[in-house]
Chains A and B, each alone.
Chain A
């Protein structure tokens, strides 16, 4: 087996005189390999060193070495093994320069000696071999450890599991790069200070430890979902990265219905992305979307993940129930084909396992379609009477819609006017004002 050449680069060329164009092409090819390998690389190094921060630094050094060497040598037959061996050698070099790494590097040195003679040995599976994904799973649970704040967990996950650069993460979350760099450094330090060990949670701990992981993935997804089309490409790309992480997680924990539920929820929501913006750039809400534009591959995959979650025979959690609701919409080729009875029943379940006034507002919509506007109003009036969500525009918009359908036009107009008052979005304000005027005209 031989090294694979990189597009535009002449393998075996000794000179470093690459043209700019070739240099860019080579860098992108090396980074592509890096994106594929980095999660397992960091995970394997963290297992060997027991230190996530050190593992990540070593992995970065291996990337630098690959960027220097691969444009001329070609991509080695076992790129993951090459990166692993190179990272270990960097640790030994560091050990020779300083005593700081003494103990950890001594362990690495013994392993690296066993790896001799060649960094490029292609027959070697090397320590990156992690067939059941335990290293990667340890990495997931360490990067999303509950001792870390949510924003630290998100940053560390994108850095260690996503292979994103600090600059990319900073741009995705609209903060300056030094702020994000500091957040990552602090997160690693917290793990060290709190003595978090690089290990798997026990079966007892798993339910408690899975929640923070899923929370991180869904936050990444929603950050991308909230992005607009004109923004820096890294933000919309967060949706894809979150779904990728969701798939990795489902591969590592195939029997967890909530991991499957979250993946299904993300895929079903993302299936609507192509239809979510009209030709004029304005957002198009679910009832008005051209469903022919939905992404059928994601719909199919989302429904499959949900079916697997349901087949687990275990009670469904909030993500799986939300996915089941999204599936009701995905299955309806026209808005009027929606099984509102089932949607309402699922919101009943969701309201029980995950009580929230926002869920109640959504439940009112489903009840309004399945049992009539008066039944829906009964649900939404309770939320309105509680005084919670008074500044949540959709509470007023949903109320307005139900009042309108109940023939109470003047009250409907007032509700839409209230919605227009509290929304912070110009597009929504115009929409609600139009609805209010239409209701007034009928009243």
Chain B
């Protein structure tokens, strides 16, 4: 089963500590070597994106940045055997932030990507 983890947070001023980036690279290499990390990338601040919305039947396009306190930071796609395994990888990733970037706050949503297992056998 496949999960996407999406990291959102508020960045303290200044770039992330070098040690954190190194630890994230090492964790990514480990998850890749284990055959479970399929895809991942950083996400640019909302200032470089836009939002296309439908409100009251009307389409609108708004350029970023947006007022939300939290920005999308990165995503990762895992192929795992259980939700708990996806949570374990996300926890290891978040623990690195807790340990190596004082003042950082954020959250990582673990979202299941629908797959054949979500559709029961046909009746």
Interface, chain A (partner B; CB < 8 A): 1, 4, 7, 28-29, 31-33, 35-36, 39, 75, 77, 133, 228-230, 233, 236-237, 240-241, 243-248, 251-252, 273-274, 277, 279-281, 297, 301
Given that A230-B121, A246-B35, A251-B33 are known contacts, is A7 also in contact with B87, CB under 8 Å in the complex? Answer: yes
Contact call A240/B81, Cβ cutoff below 8 A: yes
Given that A32-B88, A248-B35, A301-B38 are known contacts, is A243 also in contact with B79, CB under 8 Å in the complex? Answer: yes
Contact call B121/A297, Cβ cutoff below 8 A: no
Contact call B87/A29, Cβ cutoff below 8 A: yes
Q: A60 to B82, alpha carbons, bound, how many Å?
A: 20
Cβ of B117 within 8 Å of any chain A Cβ, yes or no, is yes
Q: Could you name 15 residue pairs across A and B whose Cβ atoms are closer than 8 Å?
A: A4-B91, A32-B87, A32-B88, A35-B82, A36-B34, A75-B88, A233-B117, A236-B117, A243-B79, A245-B35, A246-B35, A247-B35, A248-B35, A251-B35, A297-B38
**Complex: chain B residue closest to A279, CB-CB:** B122
Which A residues are CB-close (under 8 A) to B99? 1
Contact call A281/B122, Cβ cutoff below 8 A: yes
Q: A230 to B34, alpha carbons, bound, how many Å?
A: 29
Cβ of B63 within 8 Å of any chain A Cβ, yes or no, is no
Cβ of B57 within 8 Å of any chain A Cβ, yes or no, is no
Contact call B84/A274, Cβ cutoff below 8 A: no
Which A residues are CB-close (under 8 A) to B33? 133, 248, 251-252
Top 6 nearest A-B pairs (CB, nearest first) are A247-B35, A32-B84, A244-B35, A281-B122, A230-B121, A32-B85
Cβ of B95 within 8 Å of any chain A Cβ, yes or no, is yes
Contact call A36/B88, Cβ cutoff below 8 A: yes
**Complex: chain B residue closest to A298, CB-CB:** B38
Which B residues are CB-close (under 8 A) to A279? 122
Cβ of B109 within 8 Å of any chain A Cβ, yes or no, is no
Which A residues are CB-close (under 8 A) to B107? none
Which B residues are CB-close (under 8 A) to A244? 34-36, 79
CB contact list, B71-112 vs A, under 8 A = 77, 79-82, 84-85, 87-89, 91, 95, 99
Which A residues are CB-close (under 8 A) to B117? 233, 236
Contact call B82/A28, Cβ cutoff below 8 A: yes
**Complex: chain A residue closest to B119, CB-CB:** A229
Q: A236 to B117, alpha carbons, bound, how many Å?
A: 9
